[in-house]
Structure 1
Amino acid sequence: DLLYMNNQPSSNLEGIIAARMTGIKSLLHSRIETELNFFEVKAVNKWLTKMICVSEGVRESFLRQGIEPLKCSTVYNGIEAGIIPAIPPDEIRQELGLKGNELLIGSAGSLVKRKRFADLIKAMATFSSQNPEVRIQDKKNPPLPPFDKGGVGGFFNKIKCVILGDGSERELLQKEIEKNKLNDYVMLAGFKSEAISYINAMDIFILPSEREGFPRVVLEAMLMGKPVIASRIAGPLELIEEGRTGFLYNTGDVNTLSSHIAKLVSEPPLRKSLGEAGRKRVIENFSIEKYVSTVENNFAEVLKL
C-alpha cells in the first residue's frame, strides 16, 4: 500500500518511479540538504506522494529548488530520553589519557570533507597558541599549576580535544594536527560503537559541519547535558538556542569558533547552565515518542491521498 524511502531523492529515483508505475503511495524521508537536478524536482513534484524533511532548514532548501510546498513537511528527529551510556566517563577519560581535572573537548562523525573537522583542528591551534598554558604537558615538562581567576581555565589547567569517527579525510586531518604541533593536544580516536559514552565524558561538544539535516549527535550531546558549539546550518539552527543551550558560528569561521571555545573553557558555570538548558530542551521537544507519532500520522495521511 505504501513505499517508504530514506534519504535524498537522487538515491531513491527508482523507488519513486516504481511506486508511480505500480499505483502505490510513496513517502520519502529526506535527512540532509542536497542539490536537486531538473529531473529530480520533476520526479518529486509529479510522482512522489509526499516528502518528510528532518528539519525546517532541509525543507526550505527543497522549496528554494522548486519543490511544491504542499509536497513536503517537517518532522524533527527524536531521541530516547532514558539512554544510559554503557561505559562510565572515568573509564573513557582514562582511555583517552586524561587525568584529574583536565577538560575534554570533542566531536564525532564521519571523517569526510563536509564535516569540516579541519576547522576544529585549526580553531584548537588558534586557541592553544593564545593560551599555551592549557596544553596537555608531555613527559619532558612538569605539569602547569592551576589557573588563577584571571586565567583561561578556572577549574581546569589542561585541555585535550578528541574527534571520534573514521573516513577518507583521516590522513589529511592527522597531517593538519602534526602541522600545527598538536599531537599531544588533539587526537583522532577512530570509530567508536559506543560513541554516546564518549560524548558523555566530554565537557564541550563541537559540530563544525558545512551541511547536515538534523544531527542526532547534537541531540545526544544535549541529552547528556553538554554545551554545544555548532556551525550555523540546517539542524543546529533549530536545535540550539544561541546563548541559552549553546553557541553558533558561521561555517568556516575558525576565529569565532576559537572564541566560543575560550568562553566556555573560562566559564564553568556557563558550561553547566547551557548543558542543563540543552538537556531540558531535548527532553521537552524532541522525544522519540513524539517523533514516532508524527511519522505514523504522515503514513496515515499519505494513505488517504
Structure 2
Amino acid sequence: MPQSRLKILLLDSGKEWGGGTNSMLELLKRIDRNTFDISCCFYNNYVRDKNESISEALAALDIPIFFIPQARQPAWAKLAKEALRTLLFFNKKIRLKCIFAIDKIWRINPNIQKINSLLEMGQYDILYMNNQPSSNFEGYYSTVGLPTTVIQHCRIEPLMNDQIVSMVNDLCHAIISVSDGVQKKLVQHGVNPRICHTVFNGIDVHQPLPDGRQLRQSFTADEDTFVFGSIGSLILRKSHHHILQALHLFNYAYPAARWKMVMVGAGPEHQALVKMAANYRILDNVIFTGFKSNAMEYLAAFDAFILASSSEGLPRVVLEAMLLNTPVIGSNVIGTAELIHHEETGLLFPYGDTQLLFRHFERLYLDKNYRLVLARNANEMVRTHFTIDKYVAGVEAVLGSIKRA
C-alpha cells in the first residue's frame, strides 16, 4: 500500500509581499503534490499591485489557506513598553527581555493557541515556516505536545540570541538556509550544524523574458539616457538613502549626463527619500513607482541595478537581474556577496561606502563593454547554478527527510 502524503502547514507570519513570498509561490507551483499535501496559514492577506491578494494566488494553485488576524497592540502594552524603554535604558538585554514578555502576553500566546489548534485539527506532519526563527516563536511553541515536526526556511540573515538558539535546537528538525552565509551565521550563534541545510534560491531560467523598451519610454528615457534602478521595500534595511547619496556625487561629477533613477517599491521611508532627493536637487531625475508586481519588466529597462541593503539572505531580485543581463551593483553582505563575484559577475561595495558606490556608478556609466562582460558572466552563472529545479528539489529533500511520529 503506498504511503499517504505528508501533511504540511506552511506558516507565514510576515507583513508584506516580498521576495520570500515570491520564492515560496515558485516552490508551491512546482512541489510534488503526490508526496506533499500543503495548506497555508498567513497572518495577513497580502495584496500587491493590480489588487491581487495572496489568497487569490494560492487559490489559483488549489492550496487551502487559513488566516489568523492579528489584534492591534493594546494601550496597556504600548504604555508598559514605553515605560520600560525609559526605566531600563541602561541595560538593553534586560529591556528587550521585558518587552518580549509583554508581547508574549498579548500577541504570542494567543497565536500559539490558534496555530496549535490548526495543527491538531488538521493532523499535520510538518509545520514549515517561511521566515527566520526570531519571527516564529509562536510557530515553534505551538508544536509542543504534538507529533508535528518543525522545519524552518530562513530567508534572511537571522537575528539570534541565546533564547532563540535554544528554541531552535530543542524544537526544530531542520533549518533551511537560502545561502551559505545564512547557514554560517546560524552555526556561529550556536545552532546545531546537523540540522542546518543550505538550499539556494532559484529562478526559472526558461521563462519568457520581458523587453524593457516600452517602460523606458514611460520614464522618458531614450537610448542615450542611463537608467539606474532599485527594487525593494522602501525601508531602512534596504538603504535607498545610500543610493541617493552616491547619485548626488554622480550628478556633481557629471552635470551634463542624461540619467534616471527608478525606485520600485513602497514603504515608510518614501517621504524621507523624496525629501533627500529634493535637497540634493536630483528629484527631477528620480522616479518613485510604488509597489509593482512586474519587477522583471523594470529590471529589463535598467542599465544597472543596485541593491544597497544592510542585510539579505540570497536576494531573488539579483538572480532576476542577472537572468535579464542587467549589470548588478550590491553591498558586500551575506547572500548578495555569494551571487556577485566582484568584477566578474557584478560590482560589490562595503555597506554604506557611498564614495565607492559612486565610483561603481561612474564605471558602468562610462564603459558599455564592461557592462556587457559583467552581464554575460552573471547570466551564465545563474543558468548553471541557480535554477528553480535545484531549489525545489533541495526543499523537497529536506521536507521528505522527516519520519512520521
Q: TM-score, normalised by structure 2?
A: 0.67
Q: Distance in 2 between matches of 1:303 and 1:222?
A: 39
What letter matches 1:294 in structure 2? G
Match of 1:248 among 348, 356, 364: 348
8 Å contact 2:157–2:182 — kept in the other structure? yes
Q: Is 99-108 or 177-186 further displaced after alignment?
A: 99-108
Candidates 220, 228, 234, aligned match of 1:97: 220
**1:25 pairs with 2:153:** no
Structure 1 alignment gaps of length 5 or more = 135-157
Q: Give distance in 1, aligned partners of 2:254 and 2:138.
A: 54
Q: Which amino acid aligns with 1:10?
A: S
The answer to whether the 8 A contact 1:3-1:27 is kept is yes
- Aligned-residue sequence identity (percent) comes to 37
Distance (Å, rounded) in 1 between the aligned partners of 2:323 and 2:359: 24
Q: Distance in 1 between matches of 2:347 and 2:223?
A: 27
Do structure 1's residue 59 and structure 2's residue 192 form an aligned pair?
no
Aligned ranges for residues 116-135 of structure 1 at < 5 Å? Answer: 116-134=239-257
Q: Could you tell me which of 256, 269, 277 is aligned with 2:377?
A: 277
Q: CA deviation at 1:244?
A: 0.8
Q: Does 2:234 correspond to 1:111?
A: yes
Measured in 2, the distance between the counterparts of 1:114 and 1:279 equals 27
Runs of 4+ off more than 4 Å: none
- 2:375 partner letter: G
* 1:220 counterpart residue number: 320
Does the alignment pair 1:82 with 2:82? no
Structure with the larger RCO, 1 or 2 (CA within 8 Å, 6+ apart): 1
Q: Is the 8 A contact 2:134 2:158 kept in 1?
A: no
Q: How does 1:137-216 map to 2 (within 5 A)?
A: 158-216=258-316
1:71 aligns with 2:171: no
Supply the distance in 2 between the matched residues of 1:36 and 1:245 (Cα, whole angstroms).
31
Could you tell me whether the CA contact under 8 Å between 2:209 and 2:324 is conserved in 1?
no
Deviations 1:117-162 (A, max 9, x none): 000011011011011121xxxxxxxxxxxxxxxxxxxxxxx21111
**Amino acid across the alignment from 1:290:** K
Structure 1 position 292 matched with structure 2 position 388: no
| Partner Cα separation in structure 1 for residue 401 and residue 127 of structure 2 | 13
Q: Deviations over 1:152-211 (max 9, x none)?
A: xxxxxx211111100000000000100000022222221111111011111111100001
User: 1:33-68 CA distances to partner (integer Å, 9 max, x unpaired)?
Assistant: 122232211110111111001111111122222111
Which letter maps to 1:23? P
Worse-superposed segment, 18-27 or 36-45 = 18-27
> 1:11 Cα deviation (Å)?
2.2
Equivalent residue letter for 2:243: L
C-alpha deviation, 1:19, in angstroms: 2.6
Deviation at 1:255, TM superposition (A): 0.3
SS of the residue 2:326 aligns to: coil
